[in-house]
Each structure stands twice: as C-alpha cells, then as structure tokens.
Amino acid sequence: MSYRVKRDIKIPLRDEVLLSADHYQPEEQGVYPAIVVRTPYGKTREQQHLQGEYFAEHGYHVINVDVRGRGDSEGEFVPYRNDGVDGYDVIEWVASQTWCDGNVGTLGGSYLGRIQWLTALEQPPSLKAMVPLVTPSDPFVEWPTGLPNPMHICWLYMTRGRVMQNINLVDWQKVYWTLPYVDMDLPTGWYSEQWREEIEHPYFDDYWKHIAYQHRFDEIDVPVLNISGWYDDEQIGTPLNYQGMVEAGKSDQHLLMGPWPHQLNKSTKLGDLDFGEESLINMNDYQRSFFDYYLKGIDQGFTKKEPVEIFVMGENKWRQEKTWPLPNTKWTKFYLHSGGKANSRFGDGVLSASGPAKSEADYDQYAYDPANPVPFITEMVSHQIGGPDDYSSIERRDDVLVYTSDVLEDDLEVTGPVKANLFVSTDAKDTDFTVKLLDVRPSGFAQRLTDGLVRGRFRNGTDKPELMTPGEVYEVEVDCWNTSHVFKKGHQIRIEIASSAFPKYDCNLNTGDELGKTTEVKVANQTVYHSEQYPSSVVLPIIKR
C-alpha cells in the first residue's frame, strides 16, 4: 500500500490556538485508525517523515504535529505545561474526522513520550493505545538534587524560539562551571526565563506536581508499550511506568528494554562495546504489531509474547519474561569492606556477600571539593549523558572509594533495579553521595553499568528537605536505576562511592545554603561506614541461571 501526505493542516484547540500538522494517509482511501505524534523538534524531521510513511503504507493515518509554540504551530511554548490538554484536543479532533475510524494511538520518544502520559491523565475517550519511548520521569526522579541537571540548559537552549537552535555554537563545558547556578544561561548569550523559574522551585511543590504523572497511574487505563535502553540517560522512568501501571491493575502493559542509549536502536555499537547484530530490531514492525492488535484487533503474533522483553548484556541475548522485576530475583546484599583505605582502585576496598567482621576497619573517609568534582564521562551536549565507559582512570582519585569483589568463578547475572544502602556522615550541612556499579574485565577495563545519587537534604524525599547535622550518622538509600548484565567468569563486580558526578549532576556546594543561588564553596569531609553496627551494602538483583 502506498501513501500520500497533506502538509500544514490546522488543528483547532479549545482556546482557539491552531496547531500545524502533516497528515500521512494510505493511498487507498478509506477509514483507518490514526496515530498521533506530537513533537517540539519539528514535524518535518526525517525520523517523523519515515515513520509517517511506514505506518501510512500499513493502513494508518499518521498525524505529525508541532506542539504549541514550536515550528508552524501558534501559541507560546512552555515545556509540558499545556501538552496534556492540547493532546486531548488533538486526539478527539482526529477521531472526529471522516477518515478516522475513531481509534487513536500515540507514539514518540523522550519529550514526545512524557506528553503521552500527561495526555492520558486527561482521559481522551478515543485514546486506545500508547507507545512512549525513552520517557522522562517526574521532576527530581532523574535529577534528585533539587535542581535540573546542568545539561538541561543545553536542551532549553536547543528548543528556544520556534525552530531548533545550533548547540554547537556554545562552549558547554564553560557554561556548566558557572556559579551561581542560576546564571548558567548567561554564558550562552541568552537569558532563559524557563531555567530561572525552575531554579526557583527546588522542592517537589505544586509547580512540579502540575506536570507530574507517576503518582497518578490509577487515573489511566490504556494499553501501553514502554520502550527504553539500559544506557538511556532517562532510563529510570520506563521500568517505573510499566511497574506502576501493572501494580495499578490497568490495561495490558508491555516493556521492551534494549542495550541502547537515548537514541534507540541505531547501532550495535555503544562506546567501545559491540552488542552484536541481534541487538538491533525492526522497531517499526515491533510497534506496528502492538498497534495492529490494540487499534485494529489483528493479532500478528503480539499476544504470543510475554509482556516483558529484555536484552541481557554480557551474553548479548534477548529474553522474554512475565514480570518486572523478574519473578526469580534473589535480592542479594554485597557489603563494603576495607582496612580503612579504600580510596582509589589502588586501595584495599573489597565487595563481598559476607557481612562486616569485627577485625576490620569501621569506615573509609575522603574529602569532597566541589571545585574539583569527580568527572562523569560524557559528551558535553544533552543528546546522551554517559554510556558503558571505562572508569579505571577516574578510579585513580582519592576522593573515589572503590570496592571490588573477588574474581568470579562462574557467570553471574544481575537483572533489575539496583539500590545501595549507605551509612554516612559529613562535616557539612548538606552534601551528596554517589554510587556506581561496574563490571571489571581481566584487562582492567571498568565498565559503568548504572549509577545514582542522593542529596543529603533530600534523604527523606524531595518534598521534605532537611539539612544534615555535622557528625551525625545517617542511613541513606541511593537508587542506582536498572540494568540487565551478565558478569562473565573471570570478571569482578565493583562499586564506586563518591560525592560528585559532574556534569551529569550539579555539584553540591556543601554549605546548606539556598540551592542554585550562591557561590561559596566548602570542602566536605565524608565518612562511609561498614561496621557491624553500620553495615553499608549494595543490593543486587541476582538471577538464577
């Protein structure tokens, strides 16, 4: 089936703003289901065109829409603030057209994914299926520091005005070092009201609740195909969304996780790793089988699959599962040990499933200087934050505690959420603690798998800020997101602990002052305990093989 396209059709919203859309439709005239794709990145991008072409050729109307205030659409672009209600209006307008059979699905990744959830909260009657990819979470889930991550300013710069801006004109490394943090927009040559407004809300207040959705899954009842990659820098949202909808007892939910970054399914290679030809799938066909079932009632084999499909790194194979987390998960604590000098990979830090012994040192210490933060390996633009990078050179620093297991005698699979429980103290009123999980090869290559951070003042939640008391011991939980990886025989498991990961996260200045507004920097002296009284550990989801 061939297709035809009609460009710049106008879709009216309830406040009389007109959105611009391109309509891809089957050449053979008739009534078909529709797929709505709304984007701030330009409806005429090649990806949007090829996607529209594909689905139109397979019997769908595809409506590629510039969101309010972007591209050829009227109105003012304010990220996420209008997209829920606007989505309702677009879906119901499409469903009312004579060429649509009344069944509408939505599709798209990143910004395009999150606004599908915001639209679903509005409960448009004609929304029958969603495919959100690499979907951002609620505020403070990905960036639990109270402040947007430094690279968010790059995204805001890129999407300012009506068309995409050239981010290569800016020295982003210089930008990210700016203090006070609120002035980070100025070195770009641009004053951002949006950036400054977000800095004014460092707690999970009503400002953020307006665009939050992950606490409202009970209000949504739509079949969803959730898709992301283990190295997607917004990965944490996708398994959370799948699990949240399943726990809410809603319509059929599906989860697909590959060995991919934020730009899904583009290459078998990521950094120095090649995951093999099996790592790439025909994404259009995969999504179409979902839409065929839920929009057309045609089963092309989609229901024969288990609801969860994951790519297990290390052995580089796809596997289907019934639930997430996996039903045969053995949640296993690995404890920190040392003789008191776990600083750097040349120290004496050990990771073991055995608990602390009386003969060991009770703690490790290091000094965290915000003026000299621990680097997070990444390009400087916001397209992708980090990957399966080698951290062995970073681990030469004394402000990084390193705990390494014995050499594995057998393969060991870790699949699921990773969390660390640390007992810590500091001489600062506020500070950060980071945890990273790595696979150490016999060559010494230390591959980052996943990581996380907790900010001291938010140890009880981003809606409950409370400064720390210097010298007091706190138990803090660090959410290190998710992974699926086989540590091969002869490899080692490693945990890094530090207090910064720059520029993935902003640097805590350690003063306890108002976030984002000050320039004073304080060195914090940190203690991580691993005694019988304070047994710090990381909990790994071990899968019996």
**Does residue 477 contact residue 411 with C-beta atoms inside 8 Å?**
no
**Does residue 250 contact residue 158 with C-beta atoms inside 8 Å?**
no
- Tokens matching residue 470: 């210097």
**Does residue 149 contact residue 181 with C-beta atoms inside 8 Å?**
no
For 197, other C-beta atoms within 10 Å of its C-beta total: 11
**Does residue 256 contact residue 318 with C-beta atoms inside 8 Å?**
no
Catalytic residue, candidates 72, 232, 430, 479: 232
| The length of the chain, given as a count of residues | 545
Cβ neighbours for 73, distance < 8 A, ≥ 6 positions apart? 17, 18, 19, 20, 65, 66, 67
Catalytic residue, candidates 262, 485, 491, 530: 262
Nearest Cα neighbor of 316 from 359, 274, 256 is 274
Nearest Cα neighbor of 511 from 497, 498, 523, 499 is 523
Tell me, yes or no, if 262 is annotated catalytic.
yes
End-to-end Cα, the chain, rounded Å: 45
| Pairing of the two strands 537-543 and 329-337 | antiparallel
Question: 491: which DSSP letter?
Answer: -
- Tokens matching residue 9: 């059709």
Q: CA dist 328 to 33, 52, 247, Å?
A: 39, 40, 18
Q: CA dist 125 to 105, 120, 221, 248, 505, Å?
A: 11, 10, 11, 20, 40
Question: 390: which DSSP letter?
Answer: B
**Does residue 516 contact residue 199 with C-beta atoms inside 8 Å?**
yes
- Tokens matching residue 85: 């209600």
Catalytic residue, candidates 73, 110, 352, 484: 110
Type of residue found at 344: S
Nearest Cα neighbor of 380 from 164, 229, 154 is 154
Numbers of helices and strands, H then E, in the chain: 9, 23
Q: What is the 3-state secondary structure (H, E, C) of 341-359?
A: CCECCCCCCEEECCCCCCC
Tell me, yes or no, if 110 is annotated catalytic.
yes
Q: Which residues are catalytic?
A: 110, 232, 262
